[in-house]
Structures are given as C-alpha cells and as structure tokens.
C-alpha cells in the first residue's frame, strides 16, 4: 500500500538478521568490532555515573523533609534512639510516639514506631500548621517522646516512660537534624 508523497504504509516490514556471533560493526571505524550490547552497557554506565554525580543530598531527595500527599505540610523533625530497661537491656516491640507538650497547638501528625529486636526506633513528625515556626531560624517546639510496653493481660499496668524533647522543624525539601534520644522504661514489678 502506498500513501501520498511516496510514504510506505508498512515502513518496518524489512527485517534484517542479527549480526553473526552477536557482533556489532561500527560504520566508519575500520576493522573495529565490539561485542554486541557493549555500547548499550557503556551508555547505561555513563547515565548512572551522571545521576550519581548530580545527587549531593542538598535538595529534595533521600533524608530530606518530604511534602506529604494528603495535606500540605510545612516541615518535619526527626528523632531516633534505643529503648532500654533500667538494666540497659534493649526492649523489642516497645511502642514509641511523639505528641505535643501541654500548651502547644497540635498541628502535627502522630507518628508511632515499634522498636526492633535491638530496641531501636526512628520517628519523623510533620507539621501541618500555618508555617510560622518555619521561617529560619525555626524555634524549637516542645514535644513529649513516649515509650510504652504492651501488657501481658488487660489487668497489667503498662510500663511507660515520657521524655520531654525540643524539636526543630525544618522546611520541606531540607535535610533535618536528627535528635538522638535513648529512653529507659522501668519494667520492675
């Protein structure tokens, strides 16, 4: 079938067999044969190297305060550490959460983390307030870092520890400082 202006309706009907032994011959380079796909591998390697060179963690990316999807947040703060008992033994499966201190307007989400086998936790909290705290330098916001163990039965007392912390909220897209706080829970009967 021929289209106007001499165009072929099936321009891809010519099929060429692959080069023998997966060898690509490069035109204009006499007697030069490269293994098939090596040019593609070289291009991919160059592309990966360029991407790696562009990432210096100074802009939005890994570790920076994300813009969350459900609401526009104005920044975040991060806290991490280890939950231990009074003897210094790490406590697995402890619940750790951050809540605003008394008198602080609650415009924050409520992150909760369960400690791993080493007692480690990591929390990122986002502020959905009006952003007035985020004009540098941001004033620290008083928060309560709470760690609790689940009781074995409903009648048991829940061992809990509350540590007051002061978090500096960093604007979206910037790299926040991570506040390191270890928590001790008294698990004695």
| pLDDT given at position 54 | 44
Which conformational region is residue 154 in: left (phi greater than 0), alpha (psi within -120 to 50 degrees), or beta?
A: alpha
What CA–CA distance (Å, rounded) separates 146 from 184? Answer: 10
Give the mean pLDDT of 76-89: 94
Interval 5-54: pLDDT, tens? 554 554 444 445 555 554 445 455 444 444 455 666 665 655 554 544 44
CB 48 within 8 A of CB 103: no
56-60, 142-146, 180-184: which has the minimum mean pLDDT?
A: 56-60
The CATH architecture annotation of domain 75-185 reads: Sandwich (2.60)
Per this entry, what is the length of the chain? 189
| pLDDT given at position 188 | 82
Which residues of the chain does CATH 2.60.40.1120 include? 75-185
| pLDDT given at position 56 | 42
Which conformational region is residue 50 in: left (phi greater than 0), alpha (psi within -120 to 50 degrees), or beta?
A: alpha
């Amino acid at each position: 079938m021929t289209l106007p202006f001499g165009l072929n309706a099936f321009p891809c009907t010519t099929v060429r067999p692959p080069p023998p032994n997966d060898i690509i011959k490069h035109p204009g380079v006499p007697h030069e044969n490269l293994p098939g796909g090596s040019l593609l591998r070289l291009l991919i390697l160059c592309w990966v190297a360029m991407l790696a060179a562009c990432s210096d963690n100074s802009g939005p990316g890994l570790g920076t305060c994300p813009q969350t999807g459900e609401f526009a947040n104005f920044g975040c703060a991060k806290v991490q550490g280890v939950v231990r008992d009074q003897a210094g033994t790490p406590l697995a499966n402890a619940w750790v959460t951050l809540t605003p201190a008394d008198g602080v307007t609650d415009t924050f989400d409520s992150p909760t983390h369960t400690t791993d086998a080493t007692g480690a936790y990591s929390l990122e909290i986002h502020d959905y307030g009006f952003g007035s705290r985020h004009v540098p330098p941001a004033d620290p916001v008083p928060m309560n870092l709470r760690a609790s163990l689940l009781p074995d039965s409903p009648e048991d007392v829940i061992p809990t520890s509350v540590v007051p912390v002061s978090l500096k909220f960093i604007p979206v897209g910037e790299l926040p400082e991570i506040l390191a706080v270890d928590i001790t829970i008294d698990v004695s009967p």
